[in-house]
Chains A and B, each alone.
Chain A
Amino acid sequence: MISCSWYPTKLLLLNDDIKIRVSSSCNKYSFCHFSKFKKENIRPDGRELGEFRATLLNVGTINTAHGSALVKLGNTTILCGVKGEFAAPPVNEPKKGYLVPNVELPPLCSSQFKVGPPSEQAQVVSQLIDDIVRSSNLINLESLNIAEGVVLSGGESVYFFCVGTGVAPGFACCWGATKLPERGPKALSKLSWVLHCDMICLDYDGNIVDASLIALLAALKNVLLPAVRIDEDTGRAVTSQEGSIPLKLSCQPVATSFVVFDDTILLADPTKEEEGLATGAVTVVVNEEGDICSVHKPGKEGALYLPRKFMTASGDVSRDLRKLDSWLRKHWRVVKDDVPTGAYDLD
């Protein structure tokens, strides 16, 4: 059940430590250590094989962003902030806007990441999230268009804009026409929203794809963009300070990650140690209708095993999917309806 509790000020990190029930002389990260647990069908942190970690969601905590959400999946913590900016729409698709997701794995979140440009893993996860956003049609990019421009005679869509090279405060808007046509509408502005969705990992303990996607979805649900109108005389965009317009999301994709251990055992929601020891991994993204939006399976291990497990409708799979279903339902319930600002405990 979702219990909604309100934390008006002291809110961001609700650190409910998961107690690790390990008292073993064996090295915690070693394979033999895991093998011991394997016999008992239980994992070192006390979870069952298909069990997910406790999830906490905290929506709308960052006031400087247009929308934000913090997700804790066990220890793994992802903070997503969405910031809207103006830009000219893409030349080939003048009716669209942009959604730019990026996942950051800073050296803050784990000792395995170094200062500097994004690590390979961060690039892979960013690309995966971008693919999911595109393939699931998460958001209709046409709804991010503000002013489309006007088609002049000759069927050519014309727009002129002079853009200052430096972006300084007080920079006047020059989107719009430099030369007004003699007939027809005066304004020729072309303007779209760019939604920069930046997901920062604050604590890296495995399974960041799932956490990132939940954070992204919850943050997008939380977005309120300011209203924009184009001044007809000047062609200049005018906005208000406060956000008022929510986004319309067309679906709710939720990712679920598994790792394969010992080629036969499937572990849901792996921790960092489990990810390190596993022989294969797979991420399945499902929308609320149960359609698969994306499957990501890096590496060759378990290449035969996993597709069989996920793609066919054998009894074994349906059992797994049923487990997955209850997890998805839990998350959909949160990300589905309007999510007011506040903290949520999903368990």
Chain B
Amino acid sequence: MKPGVTFGGLAAIVLVLAAVAGSFAYLDMPLGALFTGAAVGEAVAFVQRFFPPDLSADFLAKVGGAALETLAISLVSTLLAAVAGALLAMPAAGRQGRAVRRVARFVLNLLRSVPELVWATLMVLAAGLGPFAGTLALALHTTGVLGRLFAEALENAPPTPAEALAGSGTPAVAAFLYGTLPLVAPQWLAYSLYRWEMNIRMAAILGFVGAGGLGGLLYYSLSLFHEAEASTVILAMLAMAIAVDGASAWLRRKA
């Protein structure tokens, strides 16, 4: 460890502890009440209603369909976002001048700062209930994230290959494709895959606001107090998350 803790570091630690204590105090969490006999009994009864999960063929088919829809939403939205992100990354990396760069960065920040679920509520208004709204919502947010990452990769890529091509009369588009894209493509791909992984999780809950996928099914079953069905949906989400985790870990080991 570093010899001695700096004053700034110490102050930061104290601040963090104070923030945590303050947060609990502000929220006035009924932690005591949680552990009274009645509350525990109620909670146990609530949990019991989730078992056994509804494994009827009918419902399983429904869950399977919704899971597939979730996967499709995540894939299509990530694809859209990768394309849009790449298009926005070029101005955001300062290739068309400083003023354009600032505007592009602002757009990307705006897209990124609005959470997926908020985009989803907006898109449900714009495109109606259903998976298309979810796809658009995820695509919008992910465009902001990927656009920024893509732009950073572009700014860090050495300019000489593209400059050399431009020096022998290559038009800008071709110089980019032959000189810059091969430098950033592996990074862009890695970022997109990583975002896809996150979008699978996200697509599963967009249904809470009516934007398709597994979340819609969960929200619906819970509203009707069909806890057994809800439990199946949660298991499906869990299975998907674990599968994605495993797949990405496996891919990373291979790469």
A and B interact: no
B-to-A contact residues, CB < 8 Å: none
A-to-B contact residues, CB < 8 Å: none
